[in-house]
Structures are given as structure tokens and as C-alpha cells.
Homo-oligomer: A and B are copies of this chain.
């Protein structure tokens, strides 16, 4: 058996990580398979040893965020989904709607970077996107329940509203030209989300 057992798997992971960054920054159509493979230190032909086609790479790239760059981000923010704390929702809101997240074109959440691209893609990609949203809503819901001040129904309702505010505020801020309005909407969404997380 040539090459070590996990050689191919590591190469595949490297391709996916390069793809995630490039798609985040430039979008699905602009990024070519050549660009991704060159970024990973490979040539184009090898791509089809790892993926059926470009769309499958896109799915893998969106999926990879949750346990990859997203996990790093949660760790840095002191968020541990395994041990949900009452203040977890507040920490997530603060990090998600932060200026740092807005400026992080490579590391940002794909829900902000790629909504239009995913909306036009096949169901597989949309399912990967939905997993990100489901995870976010789940974390919010768990955290709000920890605070034990509201019923399960209210916690889920609030979690969905928080997700819409976080993603909506950031998508708008990202899309506006560099301006006061971008900061104003991000800050206002942030304050309102924190208010909801605490007041509910």
C-alpha cells in the first residue's frame, strides 16, 4: 500500500481548508479549482481523486466550518458547547457581531459570506448551511435554558430571533460600503441581541 494510510485524507482536508478560505473571500463562481489546488500546493488534475465535482467541494467547505475554523473561534471566545454556561449566548453574540468578525474575510462564518451562493446551489450545499444554523440556534437555545427563566418554547423562539439578528446584522454590515451605517447596524443589532438574551 503506497503512502501512509491517512496521507490522502490529510491532502483532502488541506484542499477543503484552502477552498473554505477562498470561497469565503471570493464566492463560489469566482474561485476556480485551479486556484484551490494551487493554494493547496497541488495541480488541477488531482482534484478528481478527492471530489466528484466542484459542488461537492463547496459542500465540504461549508460543512468544514463547524468543526474547523468555527471550533477554533468558539475556543478563543471561551465557549464550550459541552458545558453550556448561562453567559454563553452573550459571548456568542459579542463575538459574532464584533468588528473583528466583520473584518475577518477568511475566517468569517459562511452564513455571512455565502448566503446568495448557497441559495442558488444544490440541496446538499443548503443542507450543510442549515447544519451551521441549526448548531447556532441550538447553542443559543441551550444557553437561554440554562438561565432557567423561560420555558422551552420561549427559549427556542428567542434563539431563532437571535440567529436572525446576528446573521442579518452581519450580512447587511458586510454588504454596505465602508461606512458609518455598517457600524451603526452592527452595533444596534448587537445591543438588541444582548438585550433579548438577558431580558427574556
Q: Which residues of A come within 8 Å of B, CB atoms?
A: 26-27, 29-30, 111, 113-120, 123, 126-127, 129-130, 133-134, 157, 160-161, 163-169, 171-172, 174-177, 179, 181, 184-185, 188-189, 191-192
**Contact across chains for A134 and B27 when beta carbons are under 8 A apart:** no
Output the least CB separation between A166 and chain B (Å): 8
Q: What are some 16 contacts across the A-B interface (CB < 8 A)?
A: A27-B116, A113-B119, A115-B172, A119-B174, A123-B177, A129-B175, A129-B176, A130-B179, A157-B188, A160-B184, A160-B188, A161-B189, A161-B192, A164-B189, A167-B171, A168-B172
Q: Return the 8 tightest CB-CB contacts between A and B, nearest first.
A: A168-B168, A29-B29, A116-B116, A164-B168, A126-B177, A160-B188, A164-B169, A119-B175
Output the least CB separation between A111 and chain B (Å): 8
Output the least CB separation between A27 and chain B (Å): 6
A179 cross-chain contacts in B, Cβ below 8 A: 130
**CB contact between A172 and one of B167, B175, B185 (< 8 Å): that residue:** B167
A169 to B167, CA, bound (A): 8
A179 to B133, CA, bound (A): 13
A130 cross-chain contacts in B, Cβ below 8 A: 176-177, 179, 181
**Contact across chains for A115 and B117 when beta carbons are under 8 A apart:** no
A26 cross-chain contacts in B, Cβ below 8 A: 120
**Contact across chains for A120 and B27 when beta carbons are under 8 A apart:** yes
A7 to B113, CA, bound (A): 41
**Contact across chains for A126 and B175 when beta carbons are under 8 A apart:** yes
A188 to B172, CA, bound (A): 20
A167 to B168, CA, bound (A): 6
A176 to B128, CA, bound (A): 9
**Contact across chains for A163 and B176 when beta carbons are under 8 A apart:** no
A119 to B115, CA, bound (A): 11
Given contacts A26-B120, A27-B116, contact A185 B171 (CB under 8 A): no
